[in-house]
Chains A and B, each alone.
Chain A
Amino acid sequence: MKSLNRREFMKFAALGTSAAALAACATPTAAPGAAPAAGSTAASGAAAGGGQLEIFSWWTSGGEVEALNALYDIYSAQYPDVEIVNAALTGGAGQGGNMKALLETRMQGGQPPDSFQVHLGRELIDSHVVPGRMEDLSFLYEEEGLNDVFPQDLIDIASYEGKPYSVPVNIHRSNVLWYRPSKLEAAGVAVAPTTWDEFFAAAELLKTAGIPALAVAENEPNFSGHVFENILITQLDQAGYLGLFDGTTSWEDERVTRSLEILNQAYDYANQDYLSTSWGDINDRFVADDGPAMMIMGDWTHGVLLSKAFSDYRWAPAPDTAGMFMVLSDSFGLPNNAPDRDNAVNFLRVCGSREGQDAFNPIKGSIPARTDPDLSKYDEYLLSAMEDFKNNTLLPSIQHGAAVKQSFVLDYAIAINNLATNRDVAAAQAMLVQAATDAEFSA
C-alpha cells in the first residue's frame, strides 16, 4: 500500500516537473510581441529587416476578421518578412470591455502593441493622446497625402491641438432607420417616416395592427444611447450639439428635455420585451416573423442582415436627420515606444491607402474614409452612404467615442438606460447633467 502510494506520488511529481519544464521551454516565446507557438516560423521570423507587427483589435469573428485579414494580406504582399501577430479580443466596442482592459494593462505595464484599433475621436484622444502615449501622425498624413483625401471634418475629429493621431480605416453611419416594407404595408403605412411626427403617426397605425414599431434592446445600457444621440441632433443644430461637449450648451437645455421626451414616447411603441433583449440578440428579433417594423441603428446592420440571408428591409436617414451624417470610425494609431515602429508605420500606410481601404470596407460593410474609392467594389447601400458622406454635415457620435471621453459615455448610457427602465424624463436629465459636471466639459 505504502509503495503504491509512493509510486503515485512520484508519478505526480514527475508529471508536475515535466509540465513545468515544458512551460519553461515555452517561456522564451511567450513574451508579448514574441512569436506564438502555433504554426509560426519562430526561428526564421527573426530575420533581419523582418520582425513582427502586433495589432490589437476587437474584430474576432465573422466579416470583421475577414476584412482585417484583407488588410493583412495587402501588408504581407508588400512586406513578406514581417510576422503579423493578430491579437484580437472581444469587448472593445463598448465601455469597460475586456479588450480595453487588456490594452490598458499593457500600456500601464509599459509594453504597448505596435498598433491598436480605437474609435476615432475623443475616445482615442482622452484615453491615450492626452496622457502622452501616442505619436503625432502629421508626418504620415503629409507623406501619404491624406490631408487631401480625407474630408476636413474627419481630420478635425481625428486631431488634437491641430495634429492627427490616428488613421481612420472606415466610416460607419449612426443615424440610419432600417424598416421592413412588409410590416409597414401590413399596417397601412404608405411610406417610411421622415420626421418624428410621421414616425408617431405610423407607430399608431402599427400598434393597431399589433406590430411593435421600434426595435429596442435595453437589457443593459448602450443601445438606447445610440438611438438618443440621433434624436439630439434633430433638436439641436450643429453648433448646439457640439456645444454639449465643451460646456457651451447646457445639458439642462430644454432642447435636451424635448429629445428625452421624444425617446420616452418612442418606448411606448417598442417591442414588449425591450428590457430583456440584449444588443447581441436584437437582429434575431428584427428578422423574426413577429418582429418589429423599424430600427434606428448604425449601418453595420446591413452586413448583419445580409449574413442572415434576410431581404425584407430598406433604409432611410433616421427621422428628421436628412442631410446629417453621424460619424463613427475605426482607426489605428501609433503608440510611443512601439516595439516595431517601422512595421507599425507601414501598417498605418496600408490602412490609409486606397488599396487598403477598398479591400477592407466592402467586406466589413462600411465606407472608406477616403473620398476617392473604387466605386465598383461597393454595393447599393454603401454607394448611397458614400454620397451622403460627401455631401452631408458630419457630426461625431457620442455613443461610439467620437465626440466625448469614455467616462462620460458610460454615464450617459446609464442615464438613458435609466430613462428606458423608469420612464422618468426629469430623473434621466438630472443624471445627464451630473455626468456633464463629472466630465468637466470646458471649451
Chain B
Amino acid sequence: MTLQRIWTRGAIYLVLIAFCAFYLMPFYVMVITSLKPYTDVNVTRMWELPKGIYFEGILQAWTAVAPNFWNSIVITVPAVVISSLMGSVNGYIFAKWRFRGADTLFILFLVGMFLPYQGILIPLVLTLQAFGLYGKVIGLIMVHCIFGIPITALLFRSYYTGIPNELLDAAKIDGCGFFGIYRHILLPISMPAFAVVLLWQFTSIWNDYLIGLVVLGNPRLAPINVAVVNIAGSWTVEWNVQMAAALIAAMPTILVYLLLGKLFMRGLLAGALKG
C-alpha cells in the first residue's frame, strides 16, 4: 500500500462519513426530541441532549397513532402485493407480447404517472361513489393499485425486456402458452424485480396522506400519516410527541428496506430501473 493510496482511501472514508453525518443529522434531532419531556421541548434548544430519558413522548405518540398504524397495515400490505403482481403481469405483456397498439397504450399508461393527485380529489370521489366504493377500505386499496399501474408496469417491463426471447421460444416449443411462459420462465426469476417494486410501492402507499384521507372520508380510518399530523394542535405543537410519532411511522418502511435490502440490490443490477 503506497502512501498515496492510504491518503486516497482515507479521504474516501472521510467523505463517506461526512455524507453519513449529513444524512443522520435530522434523525438525531428527531430522536433526542422524542426523548424529552414536553416542558423541555423548544425549537430554540433543539440540539441539546435530553437531561434524562423520558418516555412520555413515545407513549403518547403510540397511543395516538396505534389505531391508524393498523389501518395502514390493512391498507398497504394488500395494495402493495396486488399492485406488484399486476405490474408483473402487465410488464410481461408490454415486454413480450407486442400486439398492435401496445406501444401507444403503454405511453398512455405512463402519462398517468405524472398526474398531480391533489387536483383530482373531487372527480376521484365522484367516480368511487358511482361504483359504491367511496369510504371503503377496498376502494382505497383499489385506488392505490390503479395509481400504481403505470410505474409498476414500467419497472417490470424494463426488467423483462432484458430476458432473452430464446427462452420464451424454447418454452413455446415445449407447448407453453401465455400463462405457461409466465409461470415457468419469468416468475421464478422475478424476485429481484419484485423487491424493487415492492419497496417503491410500499414507500409510496405507506407514506401517503391525502389519498387515504379523502377516499375513506374519515380521519379515524385514515392511514398513519394522518394521525402523525393530527398531533399538532391549532396554536401550538407538542414536539416530543410529534417527533416520536414520526419515527414510529417510519419504522415499518425501514424494516421492509432492511429485509428487502439484498434483493433490492440484485434487482437493480438486473436492469429493472435502467430504462
- Residues of A whose CB lies within 8 Å of any CB of B are 1-2, 5-6, 8-9, 12-13, 15-16, 19-20, 22-24, 26-27, 30-33, 36-38, 54, 58-62, 64, 85-93, 98, 101-102, 105-106, 108-111, 279-281, 283-285, 288, 300-301, 304, 307-309
In whole angstroms, how far apart are the Cα atoms of A30 and B187 in the complex?
A: 35
Closest chain B residue, CB of each to CB of A297? B235
In whole angstroms, how far apart are the Cα atoms of A106 and B219 in the complex?
A: 12
Residues of A within 8 Å of B233, CB to CB, are 60-62, 64, 90
Q: Which of A27, A280, A304 touches B138 (beta carbons < 8 Å)?
A: A27
Residues of B within 8 Å of A33, CB to CB, are 218
In whole angstroms, how far apart are the Cα atoms of A69 and B55 in the complex?
A: 25
In whole angstroms, how far apart are the Cα atoms of A58 and B235 in the complex?
A: 11
Residues of B within 8 Å of A284, CB to CB, are 42-44
Q: Are B230 and A90 in contact (CB under 8 A)?
A: yes
Q: Beyond the given A59-B234, A98-B229, could you list 4 further A-B residue pairs with CB under 8 A, ordered by the A residue number?
A: A6-B188, A27-B137, A32-B217, A62-B236
In whole angstroms, how far apart are the Cα atoms of A9 and B138 in the complex?
A: 23
Chain A to chain B contacts (Cβ below 8 Å), 22 pairs: A1-B188, A2-B188, A5-B189, A5-B191, A24-B138, A30-B135, A30-B136, A32-B218, A60-B232, A61-B233, A64-B233, A87-B218, A89-B226, A89-B230, A90-B230, A101-B121, A101-B214, A102-B213, A108-B122, A111-B217, A284-B43, A300-B235
Residues of B within 8 Å of A92, CB to CB, are 234
In whole angstroms, how far apart are the Cα atoms of A425 and B217 in the complex?
A: 43
Q: Which of A26, A90, A285 touches B232 (beta carbons < 8 Å)?
A: A90
Q: Are B234 and A90 in contact (CB under 8 A)?
A: yes
Q: Are B216 and A32 in contact (CB under 8 A)?
A: yes
User: Which 5 residue pairs of A and B lie closest in terms of their CB atoms, listed nearest first?
Assistant: A16-B81, A19-B78, A32-B217, A38-B67, A60-B230
CB under 8 Å from chain A, chain B span 126-146: 126, 129, 134-138, 141
**Minimum C-beta distance from B34 to chain A (A):** 16
- Residues of B whose CB lies within 8 Å of any CB of A are 39, 42-44, 67, 70, 74-75, 77-78, 81-82, 85, 121-122, 125-126, 129, 134-138, 141, 187-189, 191, 194, 210, 213-214, 216-221, 226, 229-238
Q: Which of B78, B213, B235 touches A20 (beta carbons < 8 Å)?
A: B78
In whole angstroms, how far apart are the Cα atoms of A98 and B214 in the complex?
A: 9
Q: Which of B137, B213, B217, B229 touches A109 (beta carbons < 8 Å)?
A: B217
**Minimum C-beta distance from B62 to chain A (A):** 13
In whole angstroms, how far apart are the Cα atoms of A309 and B238 in the complex?
A: 14
Q: Are B82 and A20 in contact (CB under 8 A)?
A: yes
Q: Which of B77, B85, B187, B229 touches A19 (beta carbons < 8 Å)?
A: B77
Residues of B within 8 Å of A301, CB to CB, are 235
Residues of B within 8 Å of A22, CB to CB, are 74, 78
Q: Which of A9, A37, A88, A90 touches B187 (beta carbons < 8 Å)?
A: A9
**Minimum C-beta distance from A419 to chain B (A):** 23
Q: Are B235 and A30 in contact (CB under 8 A)?
A: no
Residues of B within 8 Å of A285, CB to CB, are 44
Residues of A within 8 Å of B218, CB to CB, are 32-33, 36, 54, 85, 87
In whole angstroms, how far apart are the Cα atoms of A110 and B134 in the complex?
A: 11
Q: Are B137 and A26 in contact (CB under 8 A)?
A: yes
Q: Are B236 and A110 in contact (CB under 8 A)?
A: no
Q: Which of A88, A109, A280 touches B125 (beta carbons < 8 Å)?
A: A109
Residues of A within 8 Å of B77, CB to CB, are 15-16, 19
**Known interface pairs A15-B81, A102-B214, A106-B217; A283-B138 also in contact (CB < 8 Å):** no
Q: Are A36 and B78 in contact (CB under 8 A)?
A: no
Closest chain B residue, CB of each to CB of A289? B44
Q: Are B232 and A30 in contact (CB under 8 A)?
A: no
Residues of A within 8 Å of B44, CB to CB, are 284-285, 288
